Structure 1
Amino acid sequence: VKGGWSNRGTVDAFERYAEVLFKEYGQKVKYWLTINEQNMMILHGSALGTLDPNLENPKKELYQQNHHMLIAQAKAMTL
């Protein structure tokens, strides 16, 4: 989805992705980790290159991305 975690549509894309993985590998995988190191992506986005330096309000954008990731994980875990 265009815009990555800034775009709310990525939540639905992640849910579909998780659904495919659970269906295909659910019998083989006992423990799942949905998003690894979310805090690094959010707190250190500029160092990792995941934060657009041209944003008007980068802090607001990071909180929005964090929110979208949390929703995506919650939706995936309810499948």
Structure 2
Amino acid sequence: MGVQGLLPFVSSASTEVSLEDYRGQTLACDASVWLHRGAISCARELAEGEPAVGFLRFPLRMIALLKRHGVRPLIAFLGPNQ
């Protein structure tokens, strides 16, 4: 999944950083990616139409992680232009 060969292609233009480097700044995050990742924890419930809130655990943990490091999360819900 994803773009094959992307990481090696951009490696010369990337630098490893710590979240501490962004303390006091705002970081925009795509909520759909985090929700999709969180859906793995309750995939069966979602597939069968049962009540499920497990998909929220991952995004909430990521938000807490950012805040713990002094980074203000700006959560964006990107979707198709209509």
The TM-score, its normalising length taken from structure 1, stands at: 0.37
Query: Relative contact order (C-alpha < 8 Å, sep 6+): which is higher?
Result: 1
User: Which of 1 and 2 has greater Rg?
Assistant: 2
The structure with more strand, counted as a fraction of residues: 2
